[in-house]
């Protein structure tokens, strides 16, 4: 490779804040090898919000854990791929430098705050921990900062609640504590892994709104992981739809809501209950997600696909098809037909 090529590559790297490229991850378990991530690529620019959508088990969390570097290895194993942050491949960094990225550059909010927070330490202690131990901030100052963070995520009477323990908070407030903690070091990217799934429906919207506001106020980029298409429209700029460890469709949110370029996405959208379709039977996707130990040949979605055409769908793995507008892609042999509504 010439120097110019290397420089060109560097420029290409620098184009995105975060760039996940062709990631392959396996889990080696007693029952066999589960191919959990099979060539995931997605990227994120500064200040942007990407929603990652997919049924449970499709590999959304595992991808996020790989980005954070908190994957359980073993049983997990990163087979190949790159995760570039600011042009540097995180996967090739030594653990010491990798650790510096966590929390400070990329932070994460987990699904169930009750188990994700440490039960035996007060929330103020937990929120201020990284300030004290990574930034060397004095205890009193760190606690003062914790109060500010709790106010930022709109926890009422923040100061009085500093010494309370996680179990003393309601579900919604606890998730806010989790969010405050993730913001302590002002990360550039926040990964929120199903941040509202464990909450009551009424509280879900409040927490989602808070995340959207925080992103705007703090100019953070965000990866919002969810299995619920309903919640992402107001928050995300783009959507990546995952199926069996692959991104099967990728598009701007509003484009994707309008028309879908992959039968799986179409199935997901059609299964959202809608007021104007009251009385109609809700469409659902036939069948079950494939076993990751034994992913079907050809297109992994073909056994469930209403548009499948044999033999192509059951023998050939579809590659990314670029669709009309800019970055829109779909991994379907008949992407264009599905998008145009001419597929049968």
Ligand X SMILES: Nc1ncnc2c1ncn2[C@@H]1O[C@H](COP(=O)(O)OP(=O)(O)O)[C@@H](O)[C@H]1O
Q: Applying CB under 8 A, which residues contact another protein?
A: 65, 68, 70, 99-104, 107-108, 110, 112, 115-121, 129-130, 133-134, 165, 167, 178, 181, 185
Least distance (Å) between residue 291 CB and ligand X: 9
Q: Which of ligand X, another protein, Mg ion, none binds 68 (CB below 5-8 Å, type-dependent)?
A: another protein
Q: Which of another protein, Mg ion, ligand X, none binds 36 (CB below 5-8 Å, type-dependent)?
A: ligand X
**Interface mask (CB under 6 A) for ligand X, residues 20-59, using x and -?**
-------x-x----x-x-----------------x-xxxx
Among residues 61 and 196, whose Cβ is nearest to Mg ion?
61
Distance from C-alpha of 260 to C-alpha of 321, rounded to nearest angstrom = 13
- The C-alpha angle 51, 270, 204, rounded to 5 degrees, equals 45
The first and second tokens of residue 35, run together, are 């191919």
Distance from C-alpha of 309 to C-alpha of 311, rounded to nearest angstrom = 6
Among residues 57 and 124, whose Cβ is nearest to ligand X?
57
Distance from C-alpha of 318 to C-alpha of 312, rounded to nearest angstrom = 9
Cβ(56)–Cβ(227) below 8 Å: yes
Cβ(208)–Cβ(216) below 8 Å: no
Least distance (Å) between residue 56 CB and Mg ion: 6
Least distance (Å) between residue 62 CB and ligand X: 3
Per CB under 5 A, does 61 bind Mg ion?
Answer: yes
Of 43-51, 53-61, 229-237, 240-248, the segment contacting Mg ion by CB under 5 A is: 53-61
Distance from C-alpha of 52 to C-alpha of 242, rounded to nearest angstrom = 7
The first and second tokens of residue 315, run together, are 């023998």
Instruction: Give the number of other Cβ atoms within 10 Å of residue 77's Cβ.
Output: 14
Using omega within 30 degrees of 0 as the cis cutoff, is the peptide bond preceding 85 cis?
A: no
- Binding residues (CB under 6 A) for ligand X: these are 27, 29, 34, 36, 54, 56-62, 72, 75, 292
């Amino acid at each position: 490779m010439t120097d110019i090529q290397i420089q060109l590559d560097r420029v290409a790297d620098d184009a995105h804040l975060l760039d996940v490229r062709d990631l392959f991850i396996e889990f080696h378990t007693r029952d066999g090898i589960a191919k959990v991530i099979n060539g995931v690529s997605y990227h994120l620019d500064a200040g942007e919000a990407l929603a990652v959508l997919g049924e449970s088990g499709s590999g959304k969390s595992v991808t996020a854990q790989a980005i954070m570097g908190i994957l359980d290895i073993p049983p997990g194993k990163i087979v190949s791929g790159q995760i570039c942050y600011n042009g540097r491949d995180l996967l090739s960094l030594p653990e010491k430098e990798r650790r510096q990225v966590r929390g400070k550059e990329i932070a994460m909010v987990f699904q169930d705050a009750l188990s994700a927070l440490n039960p035996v330490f007060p929330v103020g202690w937990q929120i201020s921990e990284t300030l004290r131990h990574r930034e060397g901030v004095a205890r009193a100052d760190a606690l003062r900062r914790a109060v500010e963070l709790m106010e930022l995520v709109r926890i009422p009477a923040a100061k009085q609640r500093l010494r309370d323990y996680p179990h003393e908070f309601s579900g919604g407030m606890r998730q806010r504590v989790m969010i405050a903690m993730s913001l302590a070091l002002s990360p550039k990217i926040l990964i929120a892994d199903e941040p509202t799934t464990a909450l009551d429906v009424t509280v879900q919207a409040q927490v989602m709104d808070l995340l959207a506001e925080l992103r705007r106020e703090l100019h953070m980029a965000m990866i919002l992981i969810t299995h619920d298409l309903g919640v992402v429209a107001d928050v995300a700029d783009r959507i990546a739809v995952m199926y069996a460890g692959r991104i099967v469709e990728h598009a701007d949110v509003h484009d994707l809501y309008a028309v879908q370029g992959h039968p799986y996405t179409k199935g997901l959208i059609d299964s959202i209950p809608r007021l104007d379709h009251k009385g109609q039977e809700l469409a659902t996707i036939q069948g079950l997600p494939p076993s990751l130990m034994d992913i079907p040949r050809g297109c992994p979605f073909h056994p469930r696909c209403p548009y499948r055409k044999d033999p192509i769908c059951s023998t050939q793995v579809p590659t990314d098809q670029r669709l009309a507008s800019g970055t829109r892609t779909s991994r379907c042999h008949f992407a264009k037909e599905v998008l145009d509504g001419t597929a049968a």
